[in-house]
Structure 1
């Protein structure tokens, strides 16, 4: 029983294989015959319509596969497309029953007439036409031609909001020689096909709407239809934020710190110049990738504004340093400056006298300093100091008595000696007083410079913060 079943199964398999081979042989034979019959008297040079006044309709469909490059500087978009064109050829039809039910064949596209659909706004010297692939020919004369193409099209790039910008790039397809009365163009879908799109690392595709246009050019009175696909792109700005914006923000916040740097260090101007050079480098990097247009990108405006602030801070730093180094030869601090700067602004900005700590008042520091000096002294040395003070008091009292005695006794030699000594002491006291006055004048100017430094530091901090918030807010 098993042997008989096996024989029957083997016979059925052999019969099916033989039938399939016969069908394939028949298909190949009828395909050759069909090809010979169709192209025996066919010419691909003429428009395939029976009536020359009849319009040939061509349906166009674009599938976006990949964005290869977006050259903002040269304003060129390079894209990888799949182009599908569908039309009817009146001379390539057949009866399926005469060819064993054969309803379609695939033949090289250069054997049939093809519409001269080209990319109007192409931006390369080489031809951007689809690859010469096979076409699918149906029995009713319907021809479908699917071919890949790498296109380079011109795209007007608006970099006003770079790196938070959006772009619209048009891909306009139309016949180059046939007008609308000969070849009419239709779009198969309302938009380009994005189902097979490979995500780009720099650009996000928001859509690709398609619109048919009929334009009459100045050279010709006939209408010329075209289909325009508008590629809507949104830039992914994370790369530019990390590499261009964040370093600029960090550097710009260093500029106000030049006012906090002590004037005696001699590095205030050097810091401002270094920051200015760093910002210039970033500005040149942005200028290299942007087109030479009148529209300044958003990040470029931020760089220019920051460079202007840094230049102003450097200039103000030089002026403040001149105030800081005003010595005894300078005139006294004006009264209004004493009231406005030294009295009110210093308290508002928590600026103390030059050399004072911002954590505790000056009198506490002086008491601590005296304690540190006199506490380690032993008792014997303290007694010695007291004895010296007492002896100095006795000398002074004796000197006073001697002067009174000199006047009473009218001793000329002693009086002259004591008078010279008194003049010398008065001169020393006057010099000491002048020195203290000059030192006090210089300390006042230094405090004025310190208050102005602190004021400009907060002003520039606020300005940099406001500019940073504004540019981040434009990201939306």
Structure 2
């Protein structure tokens, strides 16, 4: 549509560009939307370049970004003929003297401290380009469950604040793919965040009977996890490996319990230090925090297991208790087969409680045919082989004492052998329980490691 002459800027001969008087007429109309026919909405084209991701605050659910925002719209009162204006097709005017669309970011949650550009570019057809640098502090629903391998999807919704769809319409100035490529090309100072893609769609916001035209850009960013892998996962893995190796210490050793207590103390200090690096929200806890808690719980369980095994190996065996039958069936039978525990073969080198036939006793000879005073017949004494021997009268006190001592020694050795057998049974019960918990502990650690590695691979593939 060709505008009437009253709506076009005038130029003077010998001057470059429209005259000051004609521009001042436009400046006086600043409060009014620049449309000849107010029933026609002003179309505003929007594009931006994501220049930096300044910060992500998981606790307050806030994303801070820095954008190069560019707005285009048509000012129907800023048109002139270049042939009458010495060939001038573009001029710059102060933005404070012109009507500008009130485009805002709906997710904005802080004061706008961005530096405004004081000028806009206007070409002879009335199309205006307004560039400004915008620091946006926007609300975003941050998902931290997969931290530090998380990918965030935050929206930036641009639209007019006061003008409805009848007055101002918005549309993207460039295709979304080009906006995404430009942002990846110029993205600087991203720190731990990396841009994945920028997508968008246009829509209508309804509130009551009024409707606002909006355009939503989805900024997808992912975290670079190397900082947290080096500072969190690797130290925790070292401590867990040391705790796993501590199972190879003898379970009946007191040093094993003290070693585990020292390890738990060190892991607790590690958790206190890493609390400053872990994000925390009221909505949930990252899986890495659950991983650390489970690792600490496993360390405590391993310490309790050491205490229980020590009690089994020492307390029960010192009381000469027999291993209950259900314990032998359940632990030494089924659990030992499940964990592939084999009882080591032991050589039976028990003491030989056999009395020798040599010594101060001799076999009773045959009685003489004629003896005036025969010696009294002593009761027979049986040696270790069951052979009865008869003692001479001169050896009665010494041999009696020796036989009593041998009998006491045999009884003592039998008691020691019985105690050794009970201790051996309790020892194998403790070893089976120790091996079982060690394998469960190792299985859980491997499962958690597989989960972390899979999450890292998913992050890397995206």
TMscore range, shorter length: 0.7 to 0.9
Report the Cα distance in structure 1 between the residues aligned to 2:13 and 2:145, rounded to whole angstroms.
62
Q: Contact 2:360 / 2:395 at 8 angstroms: preserved in 1?
A: no
Tell me whether 1:254 sits opposite 2:239 in the alignment: no
* TM-score normalised according to structure 2 size: 0.78
| Structure 1 residue 182, shift from structure 2 partner | 1.2
Which residue is 2:6 aligned to? none
| Structure 1 residue 48, shift from structure 2 partner | 1.4
Q: Contact 1:159 / 1:296 at 8 angstroms: preserved in 2?
A: yes
Q: Contact 2:17 / 2:85 at 8 angstroms: preserved in 1?
A: no
Which residue is 1:197 aligned to? 186
| Structure 1 residue 471, shift from structure 2 partner | 2.7
Which residue is 1:232 aligned to? 220
DSSP 3-state at the match of 1:140: coil
Q: Contact 2:91 / 2:122 at 8 angstroms: preserved in 1?
A: yes
Report the Cα distance in structure 2 between the residues aligned to 1:410 and 1:81, rounded to whole angstroms.
116
Which residue is 2:285 aligned to? 296
Report the Cα distance in structure 2 between the residues aligned to 1:445 and 1:197, rounded to whole angstroms.
70
Report the Cα distance in structure 2 between the residues aligned to 1:131 and 1:67, rounded to whole angstroms.
20
Q: Contact 2:364 / 2:391 at 8 angstroms: preserved in 1?
A: no
Structure 2 gaps, min length 5: 1-10, 350-354, 366-374, 381-389
Which residue is 2:231 aligned to? 243
Q: What RMSD over aligned residues (CA atoms) do the two structures have, in Å?
A: 3.5
Which residue is 2:109 aligned to? 123
Report the Cα distance in structure 2 between the residues aligned to 1:100 and 1:67, rounded to whole angstroms.
45
Which residue is 2:56 aligned to? 70
Report the Cα distance in structure 2 between the residues aligned to 1:269 and 1:231, rounded to whole angstroms.
52
DSSP 3-state at the match of 1:93: coil
1:91-117 CA-partner distances (Å, limit 9, x unpaired): 222222322121111122212111111
1:232-256 CA-partner distances (Å, limit 9, x unpaired): 1122222222222232233223333
Report the Cα distance in structure 2 between the residues aligned to 1:34 and 1:193, rounded to whole angstroms.
41
Structure 1 gaps, min length 5: 1-25, 354-360, 367-389
- TM alignment of 1:40-55, pairs within 5 A: 40=25, 42-43=27-28, 44-55=30-41
DSSP 3-state at the match of 1:259: helix
Paired residues in the alignment total: 415
Bigger Cα displacement from structure 2, 235-244 vs 56-65: 235-244
Bigger Cα displacement from structure 2, 245-254 vs 406-415: 406-415
1:106 to 85, 92, 95: 92
Bigger Cα displacement from structure 2, 418-427 vs 114-123: 418-427
| Structure 1 residue 65, shift from structure 2 partner | 1.4
Q: Contact 1:87 / 1:144 at 8 angstroms: preserved in 2?
A: yes
CA pair 421-278 structure 1, distance change in 2 beyond 3 A: closer
1:272 to 253, 257, 260: 260
Which residue is 1:10 aligned to? none
Which residue is 1:159 aligned to? 144
Greater share of helix residues, 1 or 2?
Answer: 1
Report the Cα distance in structure 1 between the residues aligned to 2:358 and 2:453, rounded to whole angstroms.
78
Tell me whether 1:453 sits opposite 2:401 in the alignment: no
- TM alignment of 1:411-422, pairs within 5 A: 415=396, 418-422=399-403
Q: Contact 1:351 / 1:451 at 8 angstroms: preserved in 2?
A: no
- TM alignment of 1:346-365, pairs within 5 A: 348-350=340-342, 352=344
1:263 to 225, 243, 251: 251
